[in-house]
Structure 1
Amino acid sequence: MLSCLPGLAQAQGFAGLGGEADGFGLPARGHVLTFPADHGAHPDFRIEWWYVTANLTGPDGTPYGLQWTLFRSALAPREAAGWDSPQIWLGHAAVTTPDDHLFTQRLARGGIGQAGVTPTPFAAWIDDWRMAGPDFDALELAASGPAFAYDMTLTAQGPLVRHGEDGFSVKSGEGQASYYYSQPFFDVAGRLTLPEGPVEVTGTAWFDHEWSSQPLSDRQTGWDWFSLSFEDGTKLMGFQLRENDAAGYSYASWIAADGTTTPYVGAFEAEPLETARTDGAQVPVRWAVRLPEESVSVEVEALNAAAWNALSPPYWEGPVTVSGSHEGKGYLEITGYE
């Protein structure tokens, strides 16, 4: 079934995300995102994901990271009942500690109830992994694997944030784009179950929902994506999409403490300062990140350099600390390194 996942079962560069989108929907400028409907699935688009990352702290001050992701990939731009459904679902879950990185995945077909997303009341699930609640401001989050499990409560403390032009997020100079919004204001409380035993944790979480049919240019080889929460209440989402023989494309959303968002095209800078060899690739794990227009000049460092998800597809994803002009925490996702 993995061989049928267009874009999601490619190599580390996620190169299939620049493939053809014949027959599928394409994002358009001026489209208005509507909630709660757009919390749900969009089966006429080829690729979609619902993504939670969380920075957590245990009773003794130990930092942890958590990931919960549900991917949807379509073989055709439609939905159908039973085994006729062309929708394929993939779940990734991980927990990162200063000394370990635990991860697992689930794979499912659409149309038979094994996986899906409904907007009202909100529920996203694959097998017994769930993110659900009466509305999107109060959610329960759960996943488990051979070596870990977690059960969390997420409570929104601020508004949804639309990236780009009211949710129309451009990804290349050629105009490829996605629809993209976040909820970066979740408070989190719950329990991690680790090999050494249960740990009660609290912290903050960041949710992303993105969908498209051709979000990357076929020249782009991978991305570096940062979600950073600063101690003064401001937040920064920034990414750069790399190309082998060109400067690539960068974007940032500067998010004020009240949720007011300012977009910056081409102003976000992320420079690798140190790399580490993981099981899968030589990856940058310490970065200089700058957004001069907002006087941001920080160093971003991985909590655990070995946060490599040897999954389908493989990539690096883990919690980071932030120091410099702003102090804080966040998450980093990087793809396309060898």
Structure 2
Amino acid sequence: MNARVLFLVFLWPFAALAQGFAGLGTDAEGFAIPQPDPVFDFPADHGPHPDYRIEWWYLTANLTDAEGTAYGLQWTLFRSALAPGDADGWQSPQVWFAHAAVTTPDAHFATERFARGGTGVAGIEAEPFRAWIDEWVMEGPTLDAVTLRAQGPEFSYDMALEARGPLVFQGQDGFSVKSADGQASYYYSQPFYDIAGTLLLPGGPVDVTGRAWLDREWSSQPLSDNQTGWDWFSLSFDSGDKMMGFQLRQRDGTRFSASTWIGADGSTTAYPDGAFVAEPLEMTSVAGRDVPTTWRVRLPDRGVHARVEALNGQAWMPLTIPYWEGPVRISGSHVGVGYLEMTGYE
């Protein structure tokens, strides 16, 4: 096999990813489909589900240094299947890719990695927990206590995390509906991590502490074909309560939304379409497009009427699949910090 053919064999699966997150609404024939009333099996479900088309282990963190300067951190491992199931070596239909980023008030650093399944370069082990791609790794005896490492051309980080609360199930006991047509995912979170470690930035090392939030989600067709992207909020309030909310933007200009209120004790209340509302207040010109980076979010049943503002409006992820992801500050009826992800902004 000549070098050009080898290059194409390796890169062809990743080219399919360039359709962006809207491609998650394409046909899922042959793959397993999430069903209501799931029964989770831990720690096995912390591991991969190769019969489903798309899956992620998605960690974000709000950090501060000794002087009170705010930072954000992201570490995400994705699994995407070209066909259901798995196999050894290069016969594996599984594709792995990962994103890592650090955001400061004045800069945003992001990078990505790719790997084919079956090669040992990337994967997940449920017990003891280990998620890796190359030298990027999240690992520990259980998901409750892990270390986290990643590096890019301009940054690296080495962190330790410890869960201070229970896993949280999004939607109806972990069955998260994404559209009026019934598309859904299995979705749970660990939003109670304490995190501490060192960022290595162009200006030198920075010791930081803070709070982190891990999302686990898998599906085969999590969007409907009329949805173009989403605005997703994970908000941690100074009261100890938390809230996850998302809205999926539809081609006719309407939104489909869902939210989960997470009490400081880990208790949850799920809210259906329309209960959570996110309205753009201010736009930022970033990467040649206008992106909403200040929002008003409302969950009236909990008295939430808050302003959510990006720490750095330029937190664009200029990767194979481009999107916006960065830390936010919360003011108004509730005060705190969080993370905002926005996809599908062309």
Query: In the aligned structure 2, how far is the partner of 1:220 from the partner of 1:168?
Result: 19
**Residue 318 (structure 1) shift:** 0.1
Query: In the aligned structure 2, how far is the partner of 1:334 from the partner of 1:86?
Result: 28
What residue is the counterpart of 2:323 in the other structure? 315
What residue is the counterpart of 2:18 in the other structure? 9
Aligned mate of 1:99, from 100, 106, 126: 106
Query: In the aligned structure 2, how far is the partner of 1:183 from the partner of 1:93?
Result: 19
Aligned mate of 1:110, from 110, 113, 117: 117
1:1-338 counterparts in 2 under 5 A?
A: 1=10, 3-5=12-14, 8-11=17-20, 14-266=21-273, 267-338=275-346
Query: In the aligned structure 2, how far is the partner of 1:44 from the partner of 1:303?
Result: 38
**Residue 60 (structure 1) shift:** 1.1
Task: Report the secondary structure of 2:24's partner residue.
Answer: helix
Query: In the aligned structure 1, how far is the partner of 2:11 from the partner of 2:178?
Result: 25
Contact kept, 8 Å, 1:280 with 1:310, in 2: the verdict is: no
- From the superposition, tell whether residues 309 and 244 of structure 1 become closer, same or farther in structure 2 (CA, over 3 Å): same
- From the superposition, tell whether residues 61 and 145 of structure 1 become closer, same or farther in structure 2 (CA, over 3 Å): same
Contact kept, 8 Å, 1:6 with 1:73, in 2: the verdict is: no
Give 1:156's aligned amino acid: A
- Number of residue pairs aligned between Structure 1 and Structure 2: 336
**Residue 59 (structure 1) shift:** 1.1
What residue is the counterpart of 2:5 in the other structure? none
Query: In the aligned structure 2, how far is the partner of 1:2 from the partner of 1:291?
Result: 43
**Residue 98 (structure 1) shift:** 0.2
| TM-score, reference length from structure 2 | 0.95
RMSD of the TM alignment (CA)? 1.1
Deviations 1:20-64 (CA, angstroms, capped at 9, x unpaired): 001000000122111111000000000001000000001111100
**Residue 143 (structure 1) shift:** 0.2
**Residue 244 (structure 1) shift:** 2.0
**Residue 6 (structure 1) shift:** 8.4
**Residue 9 (structure 1) shift:** 2.5
Contact kept, 8 Å, 1:49 with 1:211, in 2: the verdict is: yes
Mind listing any 5+ residue stretches in structure 1 that lack a counterpart? none
Contact kept, 8 Å, 1:2 with 1:312, in 2: the verdict is: no
User: What percentage of residue pairs aligned between the two structures are identical?
Assistant: 65
Query: In the aligned structure 2, how far is the partner of 1:74 from the partner of 1:166?
Result: 25
**Residue 248 (structure 1) shift:** 2.2
Mind listing any 5+ residue stretches in structure 2 that lack a counterpart? 1-9
**Residue 5 (structure 1) shift:** 4.4
Task: Report the secondary structure of 2:309's partner residue.
Answer: strand
Task: Report the secondary structure of 2:326's partner residue.
Answer: strand
Contact kept, 8 Å, 1:21 with 1:46, in 2: the verdict is: yes
Task: Report the secondary structure of 1:152's partner residue.
Answer: strand
Give 1:64's aligned amino acid: Y
- From the superposition, tell whether residues 274 and 3 of structure 1 become closer, same or farther in structure 2 (CA, over 3 Å): farther
